[in-house]
């Protein structure tokens, strides 16, 4: 009934080939009734993955973004294939660092960078 056509291009399970790099990726349902393409067979510790990119598997097979912060030391997670895809640019994983670098670039372009204040010779009374 046509169901086999959809299955023919799959690699088994929810796996398919990434249209950018040709490597396998796994299509998994999310709690939000959408789909996410995950990197197959990879479950790094959640604390090594930037917040917002940690997908955890639920008992029904769906996945959800892991919201515990800081993450549990032993929690494993999954990541989207696009983070590992060699054919695509890495998304902005650390927005605050990107902002900081932008600010530093503006500082570096100024003709005279502001001098840091001289260290105080007098220490406050510590008692």
Q: Scan residues 53-92 and list those touching Zn ion (CB under 5 A).
A: 85
User: Cα(60)–Cα(77) distance, rounded to whole angstroms?
Assistant: 16
Tell me whether residue 77 or residue 85 sits nearer to Zn ion (CB atom).
85
Q: Does 38 bind Zn ion (CB under 5 A)?
A: no
Q: Scan residues 1-20 and list those touching Zn ion (CB under 5 A).
A: 18, 20
Tell me whether residue 89 or residue 108 sits nearer to Zn ion (CB atom).
89
CA torsion through residues 67, 69, 74, 77, sign: positive
The tokens describing 121, both together, are 């010779």
Q: Does 94 bind Zn ion (CB under 5 A)?
A: no
User: Cα(51)–Cα(42) distance, rounded to whole angstroms?
Assistant: 17
Tell me whether residue 37 or residue 65 sits nearer to Zn ion (CB atom).
37
């Amino acid at each position: 009934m046509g169901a086999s056509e959809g299955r023919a291009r799959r690699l088994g399970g929810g796996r398919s080939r990434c249209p950018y790099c040709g490597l396998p990726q796994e299509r998994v349902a999310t709690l939000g009734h959408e789909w996410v393409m995950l990197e197959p067979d990879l479950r790094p510790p959640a604390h090594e993955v930037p917040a917002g990119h940690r997908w955890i598997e639920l008992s029904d097979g769906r996945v959800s973004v892991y919201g515990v912060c800081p993450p549990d030391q032993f929690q494993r997670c999954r990541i989207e294939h696009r983070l590992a895809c060699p054919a695509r640019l890495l998304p902005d994983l650390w927005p605050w660092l990107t902002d900081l670098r932008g600010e530093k670039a503006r500082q570096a372009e100024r003709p005279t960078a502001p001098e840091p204040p001289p260290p105080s010779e007098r220490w406050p009374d510590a008692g």
